[in-house]
Every structure is written in C-alpha cells, then in structure tokens.
Structure 1
Amino acid sequence: MSVYENVLKRKDGSEFGLDELKGKVLLIVNTATGCGFTPQYKGLEKLYEEYKDKGFEILDIPCDQFGHQAPGNDDEIHEFCTLTYNTTFPRFAKSEVNGENELPLYTFLKSQMAEDSVTGPINKTIMKGVEKLSTSCKKAGDIKWNFTKFLVDREGNVVGRYSPTTKPEELEKEIKKYI
C-alpha cells in the first residue's frame, strides 16, 4: 500500500484521492479546535503560505477522539479555523485516527512510522501526561493526542512523525529538505 492509495472525505461528503497529490511534500495533521495545541494552526498556516507554491500541502483532519476537543460538525470546525486562524489549507471531514473506525490513511501512516519524535525533557513529560488522558491510544503506534504530524516526501514515503509538542515552525527545516 502507498499513501497515494488512500481517500479522504471532504467536509461536504465528497471523496478526495491522495493520488492527486503525487509529487508534493505532505504534512498530515489530526487537529482539534478546543485543545491546548490548537494555536498551532497559526504556525501551520504560516508554513502553508510559505511553501504551498513550492509543492507543499497540509492535510488537516479534525479528530474528536482525544478529550472531545473537536466539538461541532465539519462546517463549524471549518468556520472556527478560518475565522480564528485564517487557515487556507485543505481541511477534511472529522475522522478517527485510532481504533476499529480509524481512517485507512492513519493505519498506513502508523505502520510506516510507529513512534512520535519527542525531544526535550519538558515535552517528554507533557506527552507522558497526555498518554494517560488518551482513552483511544490502546496499542503501540496509536496516535496519542491531537496535532500529531506526519511528513511525507515527494515520492510518498513517510519521513517523519512528530508529537503534538512539536510546533509547526520546528518542522520548517525538515520540510525545506524535501521540497
């Protein structure tokens, strides 16, 4: 299987094949509008504005599996993100990233890179606390919380998995390497 064999649902219910993104660098993020990490939308938008014309895409996949921090329907989530953070990158339908109803895309991503990259003692402590709160993180490789990020190169290889504590700006060097 390849990242390009996956399909996402848009907020209007239509399907979007990731094969349309072949040749682009992708940052895939499970997001939430009511999370302590929600301000990362600002950094994500900054990266998107800087690199979208150079073959970079962000795929925003809202998820309500972590503390019910993505309340509302897809339209309400979209409105919040565009009004609060002026986001312009693609946002897809709210989906699950762990468990029996997880998106096949997340099954694939987790099979390619099973652990988050977490650096620094403070971030490690935060993530240990977050893991204890996560009721959907049941097995090795599961997504631990909102704003876990996967970086995919132009050939469709998963080249990075980053914890929620990794700010988007910290990924700029990695993104530039693959652009």
Structure 2
Amino acid sequence: MSDSSWLLLTYKVPSDPATKRVALWRKIKGMGAVYIQNGVCLLPKTDEHLRRFKMLENDIVEMGGEAVILETVAADGGQQEKVTGRFKADRDEHYHEFLERCSDFEKEIAKETAASKFSYAELEENDADLKKLQDWLDKITKLDFYGAPLAAAAQERLKACETLLDSFAKQVFEAHEETRSNTSKPADDKE
C-alpha cells in the first residue's frame, strides 16, 4: 500500500464493563490497526476501513462512549516511516508466531515419521493443522498493508510445510499399499 493517508479513530469508552473495552480493542487489532496511544488508532485509508471504523463508531456510541474518525497524513517522510514501521512491526510479530507454529508442525511430522506412525488418522490430523496454518497466514497477509520483512520467510516456510506434508502423505499411502499387498497375496499351494 503506497498511499500515505490514514484513517484515524480516536475514542473514549466507559471503563466498565471491561469485557466490552477488551472486545472493542480486539476488533480494532483484528482489522490490522496500530495504536498511536490509548484510544487512538490508525488504518490505511480505504473504503472498507472507513466503513469498518464507522461501524465501530456505532458500537462505541452504544457502549456509552464517543468516537471521532479523521483522515490524516504524515507531516513528513520521517513521520510516514514511523507509522509504516509500526504497521510492519505488528505484522512481523504475527509472522514470527506463525513461523514458530510452522516449527511445531515440522516437529510433529518428524516425530510421527521417526515412530513410523503412517496412519490415515495422523495424516488427517496433520492435514487439518496445515489448513489452519494456511488460513492463519492468509489472515496475516491480508493485514500486511506495507510488506513486513518476515512476509517472504512466512510464505516460504508454509511452502516447506506443504511439501513436508506431501512427503508424509506419500509415506502413509506407501505403507498402506504395502499392507494391502501383503495381505492380498495368495498362499503358496503345496502339492
């Protein structure tokens, strides 16, 4: 995203109940916004982000709070870099967590391979775990407005996990094919 204008949401909500404040914070973070300070956050200016901020404004008012949505730009290139750097840093935190989960996925496959656990149940479980990784990376990528440094590493790591699961699947299929072949051989006739 190269546009240098942002939407700024500033809000104040009642301190009680805390669950509503936390839910609001989660929604805002879930949109990929960065907080400049408490109750002040930014998103790149898009029609979708404006619509979502307006919906949040309505939620805030219903909570008994107040909100203002503004369009803003950086005063200079240095300020622009500070803000985009915050967005990138937030996404890199998520990419880092993602990479850790990829390590867990790889360790699980290695453990099952070492134990020769080549069952369809293990394959289904690992396939479901890979799907979760794919969905999670897709969500992170959609919120990566400025191309965080770890984005490429995360994509490569996901491809490696996909390749690893393909290899594990082949071992499962081969193990089951071998089992079927061994059980379907006719016994030698001795006359």
Greater fraction helix = 2
The bucket for the TM-score relative to the shorter chain is: under 0.3
Q: TM-score when scaled to structure 2?
A: 0.27
Larger Rg: 2
Higher RCO, 1 vs 2 (CA within 8 Å, ≥6 residues apart): 1
Q: Taking structure 1 as the reference length, what is the TM-score of the superposition? A: 0.28
